[in-house]
A and B are shown apart, each in its own frame.
Chain A
Amino acid sequence: MTNILNCVLHYRKLFKKLNRGLQGNTDGRILEAIDVGFKYSNGVIVFDDINLFASDGELVAIAGPSGVGKSTLLRVLGGFIKPYKGEVRLLGKKIVEPTPKISLIHQSIATFPWYTALDNVKLGIKYKKLPKDEEDKIARKMLEIVGLQGFENFYPKQLSGGMRQRVTIARALAADPVVLLMDEPFAHLDELTAEGLRHEIYSILFNEETPLKSVVLVSHNLSEIVELSDRVYVLNGSPASVIGEVKIDLDRPRNPRDSRFQEYLDELYALLTPISKTVKDGKNA
């Protein structure tokens, strides 16, 4: 009973916000963080006054040294934890709790060992309560998109790390997200596998068959960032703030040997260096 009431109240609030958002003109901004700050219960402020957005069709990266608060920021963007100030908006609506519209991919490749690849993917659509065969169809299609056709009935244990990460991407895509949040998705893969997946990820994500509009990628691997992203926010300091924003204007596919690729790398390094003397393992390209 109270649940229904809460829901009604909740949606009325959202509606108001949506109207405001539409009037307030979101500029094609899909996901937007406005003045967000996050504080742990011990009072430590991790970051403050962060403003950023991701537009339609954009892959935005967040770069920064280890421990600066990238993962924390990503979880605030997804509504997993609440900022102590500011707010996050999806299509103009304030985010108050996690939603399948914003799917999170973990660095630590989280699959469920008791389910096959197919069943793992289905977990992403359970919330829709679809008939079994439709669920099955969607899950199979997503596995196909990430290149795992033929591995539907394999258990995670029987798959390599790269394949498991593909499963989690398929699971996220199956949920019909508008935004995908990726927290160092390649960090636990060996270099060759990571390279392979990096090459494919862009076309996997921005394929025609999913409603995905933006991707936010967290990484401390700068060449990965230059290779993949359209725009980069550089996070640094304590409490962290956005100390720089770089637009990567290169055609795809991008070639790391390209001199302009190198220029972008240097620019990012330069942004990270001044403060990084306090942070030892800040960058490893």
Chain B
Amino acid sequence: MVKMLDLGVTLFAILLTLSRVFITIILSIVTGWFLAYVAIKNKTFENVYISLSEILESVPVISFFPVVLIFFVLVIGGQLGIQLAVIFLVFTAVVWNIWMGIYQAFKTIPENLLEVSENYRFGFLGKMARLYIPYSIPRISANLIPSFADALFYITVSEVFSIGTKVFQVFGIGTLIADFTAEGDYTDALYALGILAVFTTLITFLLREYAEYSVQKYGLDTEERESFLKRGRIRVRYTARLYSAKSAISRLSKYLTKPPYFISRRERDKEDHEKRKIKLPNKIIGRGIGIVILVILSYLTYTVVSSVSPSTWSYIISTTPFDLVNLAYDYARVAFIALLSFLFAVFLGYYFATRPIADRIGVPIIQSIAAFPAPAYFPLLYGFTYSYVSSVLGPFTNEFYVILLGFVSTFYYIFYSFWLGVKNLPSEYWEIMKNYKMGFRTRMRRVLLPGTFPYIVAGLSSTINSAWGGLAIGEYWPDIFAGHTLEVKIGLMKAIALADNHGDLALVGWLSLIFAIVVVIYSILFTRRMMDLAREKYVAEEGVYAA
């Protein structure tokens, strides 16, 4: 009897959470269609839109969310404010790559199709329904798996959040499992996790099938490899569109036929021309937007800070040197997680890419694991392994768990993008590697790593962003399991969480601002540089030439 009730409650919680996930995704798609349409019609808007999305995507927005949330709850308030805050929180995690995917789709609609639609004088809705929307479906559908995983991850976290001493909570599977765990009801927690796993695996499977179906139905052959680098940086989740969608077998069956990635001269020229035209204003606008974001954040910070006593200012500012040390520790953690994920990705990605059967089985498994939200199962994992791990690692135990949480919530991006890059290497390269008997190290160093460099940069940047998210959760997790608190000694994410916990909102605002400044600068100086370098020199598709 009790079990029946639990099952009902669990299912209800899962459905509630999933509907939040899908509301967010649908919201992203619908807004994406309209914004992309405006963007391709209006140059100025286009530049602003793209630069904004690029920066916001390469910045772990989620990590300085306390300050935005405070704003949300203070301004809108009430249960509505909380619900909206949750959705908004997740929205920002998934929206950028869906928007960019749609934009890229609209941007690459072949000229002749556009002309046809002009010819028949389709109105706005006609064009949307008959041309633009169908054309964007394959990309959207290929984006769905990572978007789903992302959204679920952050939703399970954000169903409970606290501002100051007040805890805000909405009912969902995240809160349900957290409650079970907190009450020591581990059987029920596991049981709920099991059901959740069934759902996530099933949904991942359905999304894969749908992606495959939609590529077959809506994909154009000519579109195939063409212009995934066309404009702006390449994005993991975006390039995911077709290749993930195709089954490994059908991809391999292409092995001997002529590769479809010849870009005709004319198209390439056109593209170059366009690139040159946009380059300069784009850079300036990009910087400008970075600054605008900082201004907005400063304003948010200001509203937060000014809502508290002004005398705290001097105290807050005096903490800055220590905050920077905190930040340095966090960067070290992020670097470590990124390195770990990278090694994992390279070896496993290579293994899968060279073994069709392992590939066929392994990649869906990894996808399902990635879609299974770490914040939901991590407390249990922690609880069940703590005594063993702490006996082995002693004082480094908590550090280990934080890194582990970061790793499980981020490895997927770099793995997936490297794997994708390897898959997309021209088949000629594989034949050359075999022909000239290159060993594993030569292959890696001379062909695979350079050849997948753009994918690696894109994947690493996603991994790094998510790693910040992981740290934000893991560095200070009070009462994670049976009264234990997971916390690190030094770390900016912890400092923010602690300040939040003590109701020191002014400090939260200040710390978030410092973090935002550093991260935006890092993104502009480092990530974008690497992207430019990758685009300039390491595009494997360009190594295969067709005059």
Contacts and interface: CB of A to CB of B under 8 A. Distances in A.
Contacts of A102: 435
Nearest to A193: B547
Given A71-B256, A72-B256, A100-B436, A110 B547 contact: no
B434 A110 contact: no
A102 B544 CA distance: 21
Contacts of A72: 256
A44 to B, nearest CB: 11
A100 B435 contact: yes
Contacts of B439: 127
B432 A110 contact: yes
Given A71-B256, A114-B537, A114-B538, A109 B544 contact: yes
Counting from the closest, the 7 A-B pairs by CB-CB distance are A110-B428, A127-B437, A161-B547, A98-B434, A109-B545, A114-B450, A113-B543
Nearest to A155: B537
B426 interface: yes
Interface stretch (A75-83, A210-218, A262-270): A75-83
B229 to A, nearest CB: 12
A200 interface: no
B545 A112 contact: no
Interface in A96-143: 97-100, 102-104, 106-115, 123-127
Interface of A: 40-42, 71-72, 75, 78, 80-81, 97-100, 102-104, 106-115, 123-127, 156-157, 161, 164, 175, 188-190, 193
9 contacts: A75-B256, A106-B428, A108-B545, A111-B545, A114-B451, A123-B446, A126-B438, A156-B545, A188-B546
B446 A126 contact: yes
The listed residue with most B CB atoms (<10 A of its CB), out of A41, A97, A114, A190, is A114
Interface in B261-299: 262
B543 A111 contact: yes
Contacts of B426: 108, 110
B542 A126 contact: no
Contact of A124 (B253, B436, B538, B544): B436
A123 B438 CA distance: 8
A126 B428 contact: no
Contacts of A126: 436, 438, 442, 446
Given A72-B256, A157-B542, A189 B428 contact: no
B435 A156 contact: no
Contacts, number: 98
A142 to B, nearest CB: 13
Summarize A's interface: helix, strand, loop or mixed.
Answer: loop
Given A108-B428, A112-B429, A188-B545, 6 more contacts: A75-B431, A112-B450, A115-B446, A123-B436, A127-B439, A161-B545
Contact of A98 (B431, B442, B539): B431
B364 interface: no
Interface string B414-444: 0000000000001011011011111100100
A93 to B, nearest CB: 16
B250 to A, nearest CB: 11
Nearest to A175: B436
B544 A110 contact: yes
A125 B426 CA distance: 21
A175 to B, nearest CB: 6
Given A71-B256, A81-B256, A108-B545, A123 B432 contact: yes
Nearest to B259: A108
Contacts of A104: 431-432, 435
Contacts of B253: 40-42
Contacts of A123: 432, 436, 438, 446
Range, interface on chain B: 20 to 34
Contacts of A81: 256
Contact of B431 (A80, A112, A113, A115): A80
B394 to A, nearest CB: 37
B256 A97 contact: no
Nearest to B256: A72
A54 to B, nearest CB: 18
B540 interface: yes
A124 B436 CA distance: 6
B546 A108 contact: yes
A108 B450 contact: no
B376 interface: no
Contact of A190 (B258, B539, B543, B547): B547
A118 to B, nearest CB: 13
A138 to B, nearest CB: 13
B447 interface: yes
Contacts of B434: 80, 97-98
B446 to A, nearest CB: 6
Contacts of B538: 113-114
A189 to B, nearest CB: 6
Nearest to A189: B547
Contacts of B545: 108-111, 156, 161, 164, 188
Nearest to B261: A108
A80 B430 CA distance: 10
Contacts of B542: 113, 157
Nearest to A122: B446
Contacts of A164: 545
Nearest to B430: A80
A114 B442 CA distance: 15
B102 to A, nearest CB: 30
Interface in B33-54: none
B543 A156 contact: yes
Contacts of A111: 543, 545
A272 B436 CA distance: 35
A175 B435 CA distance: 9
Contacts of B262: 108
A113 B545 CA distance: 10
Contact of A100 (B437, B442, B539, B546): B437
B225 to A, nearest CB: 12
B436 A113 contact: no
Nearest to B441: A126
B543 A99 contact: no
B132 to A, nearest CB: 33
The listed residue with most A CB atoms (<10 A of its CB), out of B450, B451, B539, B546, is B546
B540 A113 contact: yes
Contacts of A40: 253
A110 B453 CA distance: 18
Given A123-B432, A123-B446, A110 B438 contact: no
A127 B438 contact: yes
A113 B432 contact: no
Contacts of B447: 112
B201 to A, nearest CB: 28
A193 B544 CA distance: 18
A115 B259 CA distance: 22
Interface in B314-370: none
Interface string B442-460: 1000110011010000000
A103 B428 CA distance: 12
Nearest to B546: A188
Contacts of A98: 431, 434-435, 437
A99 B437 contact: yes
Contact of B544 (A97, A100, A108, A114): A108
